[in-house]
Chain A
Amino acid sequence: MRQSKPLSPVEEVFVKDRIKIFNSVLKILANRELAEDVVHDAYLKVREAGAAVSVKQPAAYAFQVARCLAIDRYRRRALETGIFSGESDDTQGVTYSTPERIEIGREELRLVSRAMNSLPTRTRRAFELYRMAGYTQREVAEQLGVSTTLVNFMIRDALSHCRSSLSSE
């Protein structure tokens, strides 16, 4: 049977290196079921992303997406467990929960990608080290030879810039 559409290079990485990707995600989440779910989510997201951004290094990109999503999932779960382990569940009748998966659209991603590309080089670099490479703000400051305060400002600036790119469609 022929597939209707050939796999993109990033999708191929997910097929070929599935176990490696799974293991890198499992290391972060320490839960096989969750790890499976995140790998699947990552696969769906790179499929969407393929139409919105150009990927020059498919393998590095596949691992980046899987790793980012795994860390995000871990953080969001940690936030939610506090709601129940805390005091009573009587928080003024308001319960807050982030969705486990955040759905993204191609157009949004295209706009955010364009916004990132228009950032000053140093701001972009600071943001990538923090967001994708997982360095702390202090480590980013050391690498770039600037103050931690400036790094903090550049990260806020990058996210706010992406935010306005979505609201001014």
Chain B
Amino acid sequence: MASDSGEDAVWQAALDWSMRMHDGDLEDAERAQLHAWLAASPNHREAFQEAERLWTLTGLVPPKDE
């Protein structure tokens, strides 16, 4: 939805980190940034864990056209 709430911004940031991790090994500087982001707020940690959980779940869905 078009909600610009802070909650949505945190979720988008969590998705962003999850995707960056998936795109390849993080550089040391990026990893430090991620750690800082996670340390900054329990909401960040919760959102990131949720993104990771969804990431795991989607990996268990069989492909559509197989």
Which residues in A have some Cβ–Cβ distance to B below 8 Å?
Answer: 45-46, 49, 53-57, 60-61, 64-65, 68-69, 71-72, 75-76, 78-79, 82-83, 86, 91-92, 94, 96, 98, 102, 104, 108-109, 112-113, 116-117, 124, 127-128, 130-132, 136-137, 152, 155-156, 158-160, 162-163, 166
Contacts and interface: CB of A to CB of B under 8 A. Distances in A.
A159 B59 contact: no
Contacts of B2: none
Nearest to B53: A102
With most chain A CB atoms within 10 A of its CB, the pick from B11, B25, B59, B60 is B60
A133 to B, nearest CB: 9
A110 B49 CA distance: 20
Q: Contact residue range for chain B? A: 35 or more
Interface of B: 11-12, 15, 18-19, 21-26, 28, 31-32, 34-36, 38-39, 45, 49-64, 66
B60 A79 contact: no
Given A79-B21, A98-B52, A159 B58 contact: yes
A4 B14 CA distance: 43
A92 B62 contact: no
State the main secondary structure of chain B at its contact with A: helix
Contact of B39 (A54, A60, A96, A116): A96
B26 A79 contact: yes
Given A82-B31, A131-B58, 7 more contacts: A65-B60, A68-B59, A69-B59, A82-B26, A91-B39, A156-B12, A159-B15
A156 B2 CA distance: 14
A159 B51 contact: yes
State the main secondary structure of chain A at its contact with B: helix
20 contacts: A61-B62, A64-B59, A68-B56, A82-B26, A82-B28, A86-B35, A92-B39, A96-B39, A104-B57, A109-B60, A113-B61, A116-B58, A117-B64, A131-B58, A132-B59, A137-B19, A137-B23, A159-B55, A160-B15, A162-B57
